Amino acid sequence: MSFGSRQRPARVWTPAKVRTYLSTLLARRSWSRQGLLDRLQERGVPADGAQAAVADLESLGYVDDERYAEGWAQARAQRGLGARRIAEELKQKGVGRDLAARAARESFSDVSEAARAREVALRRLPALLARGKTQAPIRLRTFLLRRGFPPGVVSGVIRSLLA
């Protein structure tokens, strides 16, 4: 018998075990409601037990998609991502479209998206210029668009930096 062929016995998920597992996850970081449900499904927790446990923690205030989205959006904006990419990431994590868009917009309340794009571009530009001045504007544009900044903002930043 090879080591890879051994299978673990099926785990029995009692409500107490599900709650303990969720508490462990939430102790490390915030989770969206859908993220927790997905994780429980991956672990083989029955859907009704997972729904009940997450709903219980939600009613107690431990799971809050709005708080999760705001925190995620702020952290990602500080790392130099634009609102489009932040909203898309939140949607992938199970946050509703409207909440994701609002959190992404609000993450730029202290600094405008154009100012953040300019900061990111200034950090990236020296490396791009070292690789070749003719390709730098194209590469910088592609880089900023991948980071989720709107095309109009990207064009303005590039014009101002490379004029």
DSSP letters, the chain, are: --GGG--PPPPP--HHHHHHHHHHHHHHS---HHHHHHHHHHTT--HHHHHHHHHHHHHTTS--HHHHHHHHHHHHHHTT--HHHHHHHHHHTT--HHHHHHHHHHTTSSS-HHHHHHHHHHHHHHHHHHH-TTTHHHHHHHHHHHTT--HHHHHHHHHHHH-
Q: Could you report the per-residue pLDDT of 67-80, keeping only the tens digit for each?
A: 999 999 999 999 99
Domain residues of the chain, as ranges? 12-59, 65-106, 113-162
Mean predicted confidence (pLDDT) in 17-35: 94
CB 32 within 8 A of CB 71: no
Ranges 80-84, 97-101, 148-152, 159-163: which has the least confidence: 159-163
pTM of the model: 0.82
Q: Classify domain 12-59 at the CATH topology level.
A: Arc Repressor Mutant, subunit A (1.10.10)
Tokens 């953040």 — which residue?
Answer: 116
Tokens 């994780």 — which residue?
Answer: 39
Decide if pLDDT at 2 tops 70.
no
Contacts 24+ apart (CB under 8 A), 45-51: 45/13, 45/18, 46/13, 49/13, 49/15, 49/18, 50/18
Decide if pLDDT at 13 tops 80.
yes
Q: Could you report the per-residue pLDDT of 80-108, keeping only the tens digit for each?
A: 999 999 999 999 999 999 999 999 999 98
Q: What is the pLDDT of residue 162?
A: 83
Ranges 9-18, 32-41, 123-132: which has the least confidence: 9-18
Q: What is the pLDDT of residue 9?
A: 64
pLDDT band for position 11 (cuts 50, 70, 90): confident
Decide if pLDDT at 110 tops 80.
yes
Amino acid at 129: L
